């Protein structure tokens, strides 16, 4: 269910205008609705022989020209629930830009811009923005960076990668590791067991000590930090 407005004009040089207000949506259902647009694989022979040029979108897609606003109160992506308070959409042929995104992931503030490239056989996505006040081990962490992905369905999730910078405060990482402040860089990739984190250029304030180092997700899924400072070297699981 959704509500909104749509304004059409016969002048092809003028964007179609729309406004959509959606109470609930699921990313799987959104992908299904847009399947003819985002995955143009053709027939069995074309897919098998890789016929056709990925850089030549069909005429009906090349001529698409629309602008509008979207809000989604509850958007489900895998097992995660997001709220998109507001976002502007510009759809120009195979290029879609969703900018001015303002929303929430749990209690964390989400903002940024999403670009979708529909010129190939499968879509590619690039998000750049911030996620602030993420609850983690009794404290808060801010993330700033980019997320990229390509494909559809499970292939889309498996291809997801992220990188950027982080800043945290009041993190009770382990019983003997309370961090007043944390900063560094992060990389995330997806695996069958879940996301795999790699942290670098870490700067940690623990009490009166300043530590530096790196961290990574282990085979058992735990995030382990290796830090040095003040004449000592420590490992925090």
Compute the mean pLDDT over every residue in the chain, rounded to the nearest whole number.
91
pLDDT for res 89: 98
Per-residue H/E/C for 32-47? HHCHHHHCCCCCHHHH
User: What would the two tokens of residue 28 be?
Assistant: 């799987």
Note the pLDDT tens digit of each residue in 32-55.
999 888 876 654 444 445 554 455
Q: Contact at 8 Å (CB) between 5 and 19?
A: yes
Encode pLDDT of 63-104 as tens digits. 999 999 999 999 999 889 999 999 999 999 999 999 999 999
Q: What is the mean pLDDT of residues 125-153?
A: 96
Which candidate, 131, 127, 102, places its Cα nearest to that of 115?
127
Q: Would you place residue 56 in the very low, low, confident or very high pLDDT band (cuts 50, 70, 90)?
A: confident
In 3D space, the residue among 163, 152, 154, 80 whose CA is nearest the CA of residue 128 turns out to be: 163
Which tens digit of pLDDT belongs to each residue from 185-223?
Answer: 999 999 888 899 999 999 999 988 999 999 999 999 999
**176 — pLDDT class (breaks 50, 70, 90):** confident
pLDDT at 141 over 60: yes
C-alpha angle with apex 140: 208 to 106, nearest 5 degrees? 170
| Region of residue 47 (left: phi > 0; alpha: psi -120 to 50; beta: else) | alpha
Candidates 235, 169, 152; CA nearest to 205 is 169
């Amino acid at each position: 269910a959704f509500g909104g407005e749509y304004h059409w004009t016969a002048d092809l040089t003028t964007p179609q205008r729309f406004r959509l207000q959606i109470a609930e949506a699921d990313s799987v259902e959104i992908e299904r609705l847009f399947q003819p647009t985002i995955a143009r694989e053709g027939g069995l022979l074309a897919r098998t022989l890789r016929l056709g040029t990925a850089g030549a979108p069909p005429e009906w897609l090349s001529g698409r020209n629309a602008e509008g606003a979207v809000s989604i109160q509850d958007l489900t992506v895998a097992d995660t629930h997001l709220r998109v308070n507001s976002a502007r959409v510009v759809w120009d042929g195979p290029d879609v830009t969703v900018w001015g995104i303002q929303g929430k992931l749990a209690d964390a503030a989400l903002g940024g811009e999403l670009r979708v490239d529909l010129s190939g056989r499968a879509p590619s996505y690039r998000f750049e923005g911030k996620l602030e006040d993420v609850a983690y081990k009794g404290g808060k962490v801010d993330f700033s960076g980019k997320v990229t992905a390509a494909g559809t369905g499970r292939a889309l999730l498996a291809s997801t990668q992220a990188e950027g910078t982080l800043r945290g405060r009041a993190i009770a990482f382990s019983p003997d590791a309370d961090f007043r402040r944390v900063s560094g860089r992060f990389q995330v990739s997806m695996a069958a067991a879940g996301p795999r984190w790699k942290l670098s250029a870490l700067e940690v304030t623990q009490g009166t000590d300043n530590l530096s180092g790196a961290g990574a997700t282990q085979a058992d899924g735990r995030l382990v930090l290796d830090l040095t400072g003040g004449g000592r070297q420590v490992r925090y699981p």
